[in-house]
Structures are given as structure tokens and as C-alpha cells.
Structure 1
Amino acid sequence: MTIAIIPARGGSKRIPRKNIRDFCGQPMISYAIAAARAAGCFEHIIVSTDDAEIAAVARDHGATTPFLRAARLADDHTGTAAVVVDAIQQLDRRGLSADSYCCIYATVPLIRACDLLAAYQRLNDCAADFAFSAAAFGFPIQRALQLAANGCATPFWPENMAKRSQDLTPAYQDAGQFYWGRREAWLEGRGVFDGNGLAHLLPRYRVVDIDTEEDWQLAELLYQALQQHDAG
């Protein structure tokens, strides 16, 4: 059995109520739920929230909310892994136990069902603990700059500034869309980035981290462009 767990707390500070705010005509969380449903590989799609309104919206779009998350797990400092472990334990008490769980973030309007499926298949084909979404950085991180108080720039690694891009090791980022993990890996506290997590690569134009109003606007532009492209 596989279960999707979508964390969606009610107390977002930088973008208030962002998990259910309208995004191109639908509540933000609906895109994560729709992708999970379209993937067709989940027996249950669970939303872990402390907020009754978010829970109602989630149910309206096809997810279930068999429990409300405790307030102690809905503050600004609680990590995702703790929320997933709590959800697994809550579901265990209700007789819903799975071999694999996929944590899908609630603010991922560019997510696609095909990526959820492909990452799950990769996890099943090997002995890794996790499979997660990732993307290549668009510029060599070895040439990153730091700014002094007066605005002048210096490189973090001066020795890399004269090197050709193709001679520098490619670097990748966590795309922040989803994290497949085996039951024992979640419960034992193993880390996604401890060397036993498979990176499922996404194109950079389908990756955006939505933390500010500017991020939100960029995400809407990308979503609309992709919709137009897919429509031909």
C-alpha cells in the first residue's frame, strides 16, 4: 500500500493562508491533491492540517482528513519529517499502514502526476530509502558571489572564477515538490539527503519555491505558460 501525506498548516506567515489561497482559479492545495489522484498509485491521499478550513477545502478536492494535527506540530519550527512521522502514527492507530509514503507539499502548482509515478518506480527498482524531486542549478554554484556592506562583490571561491563551466561539478537543488520514502526510513528518522535518496530530476522551468508575493506571481506566470504550451 502507498499513502500520500500532504502537510498544510494554517499559520503561514509570509503569505497568509497560502495553502488555500486562490491560484489561477483553484485553491493552492488542490493542485497537489489533483496530481496525487491522477498518479493513480495511492490508496489514500491524506492532508495533515491543524486548520478546519484547510481540512474542508482538502476534502472538497478529493483528499481525506482523518485527524487534525496537534498545535505543537504546526508552528514555525517543526520540520516536515516530524509531521510525516506523526501522520504515519496517526494512520497506524486507524488501521491504515503502508509500505511507502509520499510527502507532497501543498504549494506545488507545477507538480505532475508522471513525476510522482516515475520517482515511485525508481524507488521500487532499487534499495534506496527515498526518492525526491530535484533540479539542476542554472549557474555554477562554484562561482557564487558575496556582497559586502558597501555593495561590492567578491567570490566565495576565487580559485573557480577562471575555470570553464564544463570543468566544474554540476550542482543540484531540492525541488521541494515531493519526497517518497519507505515506512522504516521515515519512522527511523533517516535523512532524505544522507546519501540514500534518489534524485528525480525536473526541468528548471517547473520548479519554483513560493515564499513571497514575487514567488507567487512567478509561479502563476509559469503555470499559465505551461498550460498554454500543453494545450498546443
Structure 2
Amino acid sequence: MVVSKHIAIIPARGGSKRIPDKNVIDFMGRPMIEWTIEAALQAGVFDRVLVSTDDEDIAQVARECGAEVPFLRLECADDHSPVSMATTAALRQAMHYWGENYGIVAQLMANCPLRSAVDIRAAFESFISKARDFQISCFKFGWMNPWWAVTLRDDGQPSRLFEEYAAWRSQDLPELYCPTGAVWLAKAPKLLEHNNFYGPNHAFEPIPLTSAVDIDDVDDLAMAKTLFSQNAGSGEC
């Protein structure tokens, strides 16, 4: 088999419910998925940039944006299949279709349009230099401090989740991080073995909050547009 060392897989299932046609809606004048395809291509670290979709309309948009979509998704096209399994299935399809083995596979979610080629290269270099098997992007919580999180009863009375930290000053609290779908990396044989990026000894790799937004609903979409406009104004886009 011919060896192609690195492949980026962009999962883009059709039929999203919270934002219809989310993966290809207009985002700042371009289809949402185009931002991820462009970042993957410009990163310059992948031999192939593959979009995995069950939807021919999404496939056509992806091809026009420069990605490869030689086949539609055969497995994991429902609402319940974990995205890691869909990526693993696409990896197997790619190996069979092109007759290639892969060393490193990246999963780049199409609903993370603020993640850039620079972010991808930085994550890729960290993955290699630290000899990791699995790496998941994350961002540091800022003003949204989870240590002070509460649940609310119907009468508005709060119940703290972390009562022991209620009186701590913000500067004294441990830093907390949240995973984001921006850049997930794995050694391909390890992903094929475990079917999950949360495999043994997986590690988190921070990226900037301004690159990390996952767009799942209309509020996320509004925030992403605001951050994009802010970055564009500062010359960062």
C-alpha cells in the first residue's frame, strides 16, 4: 500500500436540527465549512483533506471549496453516533478507497470556523513534539467561571455545585479548561484500535478562546460572528 502520512477528516453530517443546514450556511459571506477546509489546506501538514458527509449537497459544496469527497458516509450518519466513530469509519473508507495507510489523522469540526491554519499547525507540532497518541483541543475558561456555577430551583434559589470554592477570589482558583472540536489529532492506528480520540493517555492542548468556538445554536453563531468581526478589525483574520 502507498503511504500518505497525514489526513484531515472534516465530519459534516446533513440534517442538523438546531441550525438547519448548519455546515453550509452562510458565515461571513462563505459556506461555514469552507473556513475549515481552507484552514486545513493552508496548514500545509496534510496529504489529504477529506470531508465525510452523508449529504450530496454538502459534498458538492465541499468539493467546490477544495476538499476531497470521493464517497459519501456509509456509517454513523444518525443523530446518536459519536463523531469519533464517524471519523474512524471515514478513515477506514479512505484507506480502502485510495489504498493508503495513514500515520496521523486530524478531526476538524466544520462548525469551528474561527480555528485557523496557524492553530492547526501549532496543534500538529505539539502533537508530534510531545509524542502523543491522542490530542484534543481545549480552551481556558475566562469570565465564565465554572467554580461559581449554580443550579436554580423554580423559585430562583441557587444551589452551588462547588460550595467549597464559593468564597475564593477568582485569582486564587485553579484554572479550568473545556474541550472544543477545533483540532483533534491521533495516530491513525491508535484511532482504528480504540474508535475514540479519548483513547488511553489522551492529552488536552489549549488553543485561544477566539479560535475555539463550536457553533451549535443561534447564540453560538452570533458570538462567532462577533469574534470574527473583532479579529478582522484587529488584522488577525
- TM class, shorter-chain normalised? over 0.9
**Aligned residue number for residue 210 of structure 1:** 215
Verify the 8 A CA contact 1:110 1:206 in the aligned structure 2: yes
**Aligned residue number for residue 182 of structure 2:** 177
**Aligned residue number for residue 132 of structure 1:** 136
Alignment of 1:33 with 2:37, yes or no, is: yes
2:85 to 63, 82, 86: 82
TM-score w.r.t. length of structure 1: 0.93
The structural deviation recorded for 1:54 is 0.4
**Alignment deviations for residues 150-197 of structure 1 (CA, whole Å, 9 cap, x no partner):** 111121122211123343321100122120110122111165345623
DSSP-derived class of the 1:45 partner: strand
Query: Can you give the 5+ residue segments of structure 1 that lack an aligned partner in the other structure?
Result: none
**Alignment deviations for residues 112-159 of structure 1 (CA, whole Å, 9 cap, x no partner):** 111111111111112321222211112442221111121111211222
CA-based RMSD of the aligned residues comes to: 1.8
DSSP-derived class of the 2:224 partner: helix
Query: Can you give the 5+ residue segments of structure 2 that lack an aligned partner in the other structure?
Result: none
Verify the 8 A CA contact 2:114 2:212 in the aligned structure 1: yes
**Could you tell me which amino acid in structure 1 is paired with residue 174 of structure 2?**
T
Judged with a 3 Å threshold, the aligned counterparts in structure 2 of structure 1 residues 75 and 25 are, in CA distance, closer, same or farther, namely same
Per mean C-alpha deviation after superposition, the further-off stretch among 135-144 and 145-154 is 135-144
DSSP-derived class of the 1:179 partner: strand
TM-score w.r.t. length of structure 2: 0.91
1:7 to 4, 11, 15: 11
The structural deviation recorded for 1:10 is 0.8
Superposition pairs for residues 137-148 of structure 1, below 5 Å?
137-138=141-142, 139-148=144-153
**Could you tell me which amino acid in structure 2 is paired with residue 55 of structure 1?**
A
Per mean C-alpha deviation after superposition, the further-off stretch among 83-92 and 202-211 is 202-211
Alignment of 1:62 with 2:66, yes or no, is: yes
| Count of residue pairs brought into register by the alignment | 231
d(CA) in 2 for partners of 1:223, 1:32: 14
Per mean C-alpha deviation after superposition, the further-off stretch among 35-44 and 141-150 is 141-150
Verify the 8 A CA contact 1:2 1:98 in the aligned structure 2: yes
Alignment of 1:162 with 2:167, yes or no, is: yes
The structural deviation recorded for 1:21 is 0.6
